[in-house]
Amino acid sequence: MERDAVGGVLLDCPWVPVCISGSQLLAKTWFGDTAYRILLTDLHSVWEEEMDTRAIQDRAQELNRRLRAPVHAFFSHMCEVAHPCLSGRVEDGGALQFSLNYHGGDINLKLKSELAGVPFYWEFRCTPAPVALVCSQLVRPLLLMSRLLQRQVGQLGALLARKDTELQDYRDNGAVLSRERLQTELFEEQSYRENFLTQTVPQVCARQGGLGFDSELQELYSAVTSYGNTNARKRKISERHAPEEDETTTEDRDPNHAASGTQPPGEEVNHGLDQGDRDRTTDSETPNEEKTTVPMATAADRPSARPKKKKAKGLFG
């Protein structure tokens, strides 16, 4: 799968809170058949790693000298062990199978498990993510979510004001509440905002362990990213099917243009010829003469060089 395609699939994956070696992180992971991509953040830095089949094979050989299995033989096992922790379903590294180490600006997630009775080791070696990736996977969706939530609050405020007007109309016409405890005060938007900033904001900001999204925010995040992915796919499809510019010569585009390309339309071409010569030249020309053009080879006609798949070796030596 191409890198852009993997980025689009990763965008649909949720950010989930995970705890590894006592460190609280947000993780976003995608596992393919024999490839994966992972994003981690502690809200101070963002790290990533993307591995294809060949890179996974090389690292597995580096960490497990006795391993002689093709990637598909052990990758599913690695996913079964790693995914519960990286998806937040298992706390604190899954019974100490995971450990986290910092190396300069990088972080390593070390995994220890057992495969076919033999110890199996793996490391997720994550490096700082580029700014463009952080913006597409975290910053831009959060800004869109904030804008949507702000609009939602405005719509709810307007709805409350209409409800208050409706209730006041009932009171003016003699309606009385059967239960006094259902009585509510008029909604004043300015007072609500002031109380929210002075009371609710400090409470939320002071909370510890509040890393991550709840179910409603996850749903909103998925809606925002899915909409962005759909628009991106539509743009790529339209660009792929856009008609290519017709590459014709100047003579083909302008039939009145002389063969030398220097005579403007409307000037006489046969300079220096008398009337009889011009008449003979005109008679010898074939009307509606068709030009033969050689079609240019397109990219689709050229054979594409694809690397041959290597044969899988035996499982274990």
How confident is residue 312, by pLDDT bands cut at 50, 70 and 90?
A: very low
Going by their DSSP bridges, the two strands 98-103 and 46-51 should be labelled as unpaired
- Record the tokens describing residue 165, joined without a space: 């007007």
User: How many CB atoms sit inside 10 A of residue 78's CB?
Assistant: 19
Distance (Å, whole) CA 9 – CA 113 = 28
φ, ψ for residue 188, nearest 5 deg = -115, 115
Average model confidence (pLDDT) across the chain = 76
Distance (Å, whole) CA 172 – CA 180 = 17
pLDDT at 289 over 80: no
Cβ-count burial of 75 within 10 angstroms (0-12 exposed, 13-18 middle, 19+ buried)?
Answer: buried
- Which residue is it, tokens 């495969």? 115
Distance (Å, whole) CA 35 – CA 49 = 11
φ, ψ for residue 280, nearest 5 deg = -65, -40
Under a CB-based contact definition with an 8 Å cutoff, are residues 127 and 48 in contact?
Answer: yes
What's the gap between Cα 136 and its chain centre? 7
Region 59-85: what's the mean pLDDT? 90
Strands (E), the chain: 16-20, 23-31, 36-41, 46-51, 98-103, 106-115, 118-128
- Record the tokens describing residue 133, joined without a space: 């990736």
- Record the tokens describing residue 312, joined without a space: 């899988």
Q: What's the whole-model pTM score?
A: 0.65
Listed range (146-150, 155-159, 224-228, 249-253) with the worst mean pLDDT:
249-253
Strands across the sheet containing 36-41: 16-20, 23-31, 36-41, 46-51, 118-128, 106-115, 98-103
What's the gap between Cα 213 and its chain centre? 19
Under a CB-based contact definition with an 8 Å cutoff, are residues 145 and 217 in contact?
Answer: yes
Q: Summarize pLDDT for 139-198 with one digit per residue, the tens.
A: 999 999 999 999 999 999 999 999 999 999 999 999 988 998 888 889 998 999 999 999
pLDDT at position 206 is 76
DSSP of 220-289: HHHHHHHHHHHHHHHHHHHHHTSPPP----HHHH-TTS-TTS-PPTTS-S-TT--HHHHHHHHHHSPTTP
Distance (Å, whole) CA 255 – CA 266 = 12
